C-alpha cells in the first residue's frame, strides 16, 4: 500500500478508470480540476480522451501553465493516449498546430497514427519493464511515437501501420515521466499502475 498522493487530471476522458485501478492498489487518488489541486501531489496521471478538448478545457481553466510547471519540474507524470499527446514536445497530424500544449517529454508523436479507419485494435505487447508476461494493450484512435530524443527509454513497440516501417513506439519512460499510447486503465492488468507508483516512490525517496 502506497501513501503517495496521486492526482488524475479530470477535465475530460477516462479519468475515473485510472482512479479505480489505483484504488485496487490501495491508493486513494484525487480528481484534479484546479491548479491548486496540484499542490501536495506526488504524481499526476493525464488520461486518454480527446487531446484537443482536454487542451481547450485546460486553457479555459488556467491550467496550462501550472501543468507545464509541474511536468517541467520533472515530477512523476503519466500520460495515456491523449495524455501522451499533450506531454509530447512535438506532435504531427493534430489540430494544435504542431505546438506542444504541455510538453516536457522530448518525443514526437503522430496523433491518430493508426488511421481513423482502424478506430481501435488490441495487441499483445512485449514489455520487459513489466516482466515476462505480455501486456494486452487496447489502442483507441491511438497516437504513436515516431521519434525520441536523448534520455528517452522505449518500453514497448507495436507493429507499424505504414509499409516499410516495421514498428513504432507505444510506451516510453524519461526520468519520472511515463507515456503509453494505449489504455491500461481499460484492462484488469494493474502492472502499469504499479510501475507508475514505483516511479512515484523512487521520486519521493529522492526528494525526501
Ligand atoms: N486520438 C485522440 C486524440 O487526439 C486520443 C485518443 C485516446 O485518448 N484514446 O486526442
How many angstroms is it from 112 CA to the middle of ligand 1? 7
Counting from 1 in the atom list of ligand 1, the atom nearest the Cα of 80 is: 8
Ligand 1 pocket, residue 112 CB under 6 Å: yes
Q: Around Cβ 163, how many Cβ atoms within 10 Å? A: 6
Cα–Cα dist 191/132, whole Å: 12
Counting from 1 in the atom list of ligand 1, the atom nearest the Cα of 94 is: 4
Catalytic residues, by residue number, are 81, 183, 185
Give the model's pLDDT for residue 92: 81
Cα–Cα dist 110/198, whole Å: 28
Q: In this model, does residue 200 exceed pLDDT 70?
A: yes
Give the model's pLDDT for residue 182: 97
CATH fold for the domain made of 6-207: Rossmann fold (3.40.50)
* Stretch 144-172: mean pLDDT: 90
Ligand 1 pocket, residue 50 CB under 6 Å: yes
Q: In this model, does residue 117 exceed pLDDT 60?
A: no
Burial 13-34 (b: 16+ CB within 10 A, else e): bbbebbbebbeeeebebeebee
Cα–Cα dist 161/37, whole Å: 39
Q: In this model, does residue 1 exceed pLDDT 90?
A: no
Counting from 1 in the atom list of ligand 1, the atom nearest the Cα of 47 is: 8
Could you report the per-residue pLDDT of 54-87, keeping only the tens digit for each?
Answer: 999 999 999 999 999 999 999 999 999 999 999 9
At 119, the pLDDT band (50, 70, 90 cuts) reads confident
Cα–Cα dist 99/158, whole Å: 25
Range with lowest mean pLDDT among 10-19, 86-95, 176-185: 86-95
Q: In this model, does residue 94 exceed pLDDT 70?
A: no
Q: In this model, does residue 112 exceed pLDDT 90?
A: no
Ordered by start, the domain boundaries in the chain are: 6-207
Could you report the per-residue pLDDT of 13-59, keeping only the tens digit for each?
Answer: 999 999 999 999 999 999 999 999 999 999 999 999 999 999 999 99
Looking at per-residue pLDDT, the higher value among 111 and 27 belongs to: 27
Give the model's pLDDT for residue 36: 97
Q: In this model, does residue 93 exceed pLDDT 80?
A: no
DSSP character for 112?
T
How many angstroms is it from 138 CA to the middle of ligand 1? 12
Give the model's pLDDT for residue 83: 97
Give the model's pLDDT for residue 179: 98
How many angstroms is it from 103 CA to the middle of ligand 1? 16
Amino acid at each position: 500500500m502506497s501513501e503517495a498522493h496521486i492526482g488524475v487530471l479530470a477535465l475530460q476522458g477516462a479519468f475515473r478508470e485510472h482512479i479505480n485501478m489505483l484504488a485496487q492498489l490501495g491508493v486513494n487518488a484525487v480528481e484534479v480540476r484546479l491548479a491548486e489541486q496540484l499542490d501536495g501531489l506526488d504524481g499526476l496521471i493525464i488520461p486518454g480522451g480527446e487531446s484537443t478538448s482536454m487542451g481547450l478545457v485546460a486553457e479555459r481553466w488556467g491550467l496550462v501553465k501550472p501543468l507545464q510547471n509541474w511536468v517541467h519540474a520533472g515530477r512523476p507524470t503519466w500520460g495515456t493516449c491523449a495524455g501522451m499527446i499533450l506531454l509530447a514536445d512535438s506532435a504531427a497530424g493534430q489540430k494544435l498546430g504542431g505546438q506542444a500544449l504541455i510538453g516536457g517529454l522530448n518525443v514526437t508523436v503522430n496523433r491518430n497514427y493508426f488511421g481513423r479507419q482502424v478506430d481501435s485494435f488490441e495487441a499483445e505487447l512485449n514489455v520487459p519493464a513489466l516482466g515476462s508476461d505480455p501486456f494486452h494493450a487496447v489502442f483507441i484512435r491511438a497516437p504513436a511515437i515516431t521519434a525520441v530524443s536523448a534520455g528517452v527509454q522505449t518500453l514497448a513497440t507495436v507493429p507499424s501501420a505504414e509499409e516499410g516501417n516495421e514498428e513504432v513506439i507505444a510506451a516510453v519512460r524519461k526520468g519520472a515521466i511515463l507515456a503509453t499510447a494505449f489504455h491500461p486503465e481499460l484492462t484488469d492488468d494493474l502492472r502499469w499502475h504499479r510501475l507508475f507508483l514505483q516511479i512515484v516512490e523512487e521520486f519521493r525517496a529522492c526528494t525526501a
